[in-house]
Amino acid sequence: MHSYFTRGALAAAVLLAAAPVAAQSRTPVRSTGFILGIGLGGTNFSPEDGDGTTGGGGNLDLGWGFTPRFAVLLGLNGAAFEWEGVSDRGNEDMTLAHVDLLARYSFHSPTSIYVPYVEGGITRRAFSSNDDDVPLEGESGKLEYSGNALTVGGGINFFFNQALALDLGARVSLGKFDTIKFRGTSVTDEGFELDATTTRFTLGLTWYPMKGRQ
């Protein structure tokens, strides 16, 4: 996992260094309208009680910019990791998914290729075992947890041209996984609640196809 983040950091450094050169002193115009973002990154899962874990995955953002400064985004993120102690046999291969509904404020400047932003909103999180035979209290089956969270984040766009930007961002989600589903049966009870923080770092590209509109 350390090598994964080392390679990611090196790739980010190269791309960030190349962004001003690629821009070639063009004046970027952040558009209103449709926004499409894709990226790769890492996700850290940290339960309040117990050890955390980290995995890699991908991100997809779909959004609409009402002004060059204000936009709303629907974010989809998935990551895979191993979690120790979730079942009777120890480590389990798990998949963690986030669905975000976020508002973003960009610190827009019509003459800068660097555009920082902050964002916040609500998130639905779910993680599940990749196997259907997870042993738990003498029985085996598919294990799933889900719940809602509040998310805050931020990042920076480095514009290559008027429509395409390198996006380096992070999102932190805080809340409870309050529904457990095992062997097809869902239970929502305080005794099954799992407080956890998930932190996502993403390096990707954001496309603003409706360039030229301010």
Looking up tokens 């791309």 gives 15
Phi first, then psi, for residue 178 (nearest 5°) are -110, 5
Query: Could you give the number of structural domains in the chain?
Result: 1
Examine residue 166 and state whether it is found in any structural domain, yes or no. yes
Mean pLDDT by 10 residues, the chain (214 residues): 48 51 50 90 88 90 94 96 63 87 92 91 90 60 85 94 92 92 65 85 93 49
Domain that holds residue 131: 2-207
Report the CATH number that the domain containing residue 172 is assigned in CATH.
Answer: 2.40.160.20
Examine residue 194 and state whether it is found in any structural domain, yes or no. yes
What is the value of pTM for the model shown?
A: 0.80
Examine residue 62 and state whether it is found in any structural domain, yes or no. yes
Q: Which of 146, 36, 148 is nearest to 100 (CA)?
A: 148
C-beta neighbour count of 110 within 10 angstroms: 10
Examine residue 212 and state whether it is found in any structural domain, yes or no. no
